[in-house]
């Protein structure tokens, strides 16, 4: 048996006679393992790689059915579906630009129709288009704000009526420590990530009476394609400044998402959980 909190056995199993073989006992114990997200349906945006992918897989490992979105049709989506279905849960991908309001409405309608419910929404899709304010173009600003912040409005707006009807749900916005602290060269990105925090806190207050929770995860420096553009030396330098002395992994972030998506966080709403190795605290 694994963790005492998340796994349980019935009293009947504990009372099994010693005459049962080890195999039989283990088999019976396995039947009583409760996964944290069993019976839930999750919708994860931008999930064909990086943090979104890790969340989709970890959610499936915890028993959730997984719907995910991706911007363009690609083989990564097919591979992800296969990997998740092999875990014994339902999975479907939807190609759509998260920044497009009408397309988002259509995707959410399809997901609700295909899966029958939506219990968890992870607003993960995001981009960077860095530049100092003196050189930042309107295009750079608009692209980042639209993809990172408006997309979360689009999905939240579309999902909230579904969750309200179910009288419950958990929305998770993928913010960043940069949204809390700012970062030179990333004013557009930092503003979008700070906006996600304001959005989450407002939704938590507005929709709490309907049983809907909304929180943010603020990752620090996580090794994904998004951060791969940074040189090896720079990454090593950063890692030295992180108290836990390493960059984070997508799985580190996915573990926080499992907590926020599950009933383990039933009384947690309107909060920002940093996942940054104490880089920001």
Q: Which residues bind ligand NAD (CB under 6 A)?
A: 45-46, 48-52, 69-71, 97-99, 124-127, 147, 174, 176, 219, 221-222, 224-227
Of 70, 94, 189, 267, which one is the catalytic site residue?
Answer: 189
Nearer to ligand NAD, 125 or 203 (CB): 125
Structure tokens at 192: 């979008």
Alpha helices in 89-169 (DSSP H): 101-115, 138-144, 151-166
Least Å distance between CB 224 and ligand NAD? 3
**Strand runs (DSSP E) across the chain, as ranges?**
41-44, 65-70, 91-95, 120-123, 169-174, 212-219, 272-275
Angle, CA 60 vertex, CA 224 and CA 126 arms, to 5°: 35
Nearer to ligand NAD, 63 or 254 (CB): 254
Nearer to ligand NAD, 63 or 197 (CB): 197
Angle, CA 82 vertex, CA 219 and CA 7 arms, to 5°: 60
Q: Could you tell me which residues are beta bridge partners of residue 42?
A: 66, 120
Exposed e or buried b per residue across 219-234, where buried means at least 16 C-beta atoms within 10 angstroms of its C-beta: bbbbbbeebeeeeeee
267 is catalytic: no
Angle, CA 89 vertex, CA 87 and CA 90 arms, to 5°: 135
Nearer to ligand NAD, 93 or 126 (CB): 126
Name the residues annotated as catalytic.
189
């Amino acid at each position: 048996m694994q963790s005492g909190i998340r796994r349980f056995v019935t009293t009947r199993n504990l009372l099994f006679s010693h005459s049962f073989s080890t195999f039989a006992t283990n088999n019976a114990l396995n039947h009583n393992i409760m996964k944290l997200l069993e019976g839930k349906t999750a919708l994860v945006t931008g999930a064909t790689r990086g943090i979104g992918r890790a969340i989709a897989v970890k959610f499936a490992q915890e028993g959730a059915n997984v719907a995910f979105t991706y911007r363009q049709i690609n083989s990564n989506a097919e591979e992800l579906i296969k990997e998740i279905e092999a875990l014994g849960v339902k999975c479907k991908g939807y190609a759509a630009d998260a920044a497009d309001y009408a397309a988002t409405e259509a995707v959410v309608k399809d997901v609700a129709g295909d899966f029958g419910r939506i219990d968890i929404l992870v607003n993960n899709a995001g981009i960077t288009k860095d530049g100092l304010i003196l050189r930042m173009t309107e295009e750079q600003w608009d692209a980042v704000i639209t993809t990172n912040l408006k997309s979360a409005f689009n999905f939240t707006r579309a999902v909230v009526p579904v969750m309200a009807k179910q009288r419950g749900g958990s929305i998770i916005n993928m913010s960043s420590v940069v949204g809390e602290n700012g970062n030179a060269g990333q004013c557009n990105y930092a503003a979008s990530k700070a906006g996600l925090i304001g959005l989450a806190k407002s939704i938590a207050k507005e929709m709490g009476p309907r049983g809907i929770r909304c929180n943010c995860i603020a990752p620090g420096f996580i090794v994904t394609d998004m951060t791969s553009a940074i040189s090896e030396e720079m990454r090593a330098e950063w890692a030295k400044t992180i108290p836990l002395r390493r960059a984070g992994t997508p799985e580190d972030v996915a573990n926080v998402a499992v907590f926020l998506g599950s009933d383990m966080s039933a009384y947690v709403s309107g909060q920002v959980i940093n996942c940054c190795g104490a880089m920001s605290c």
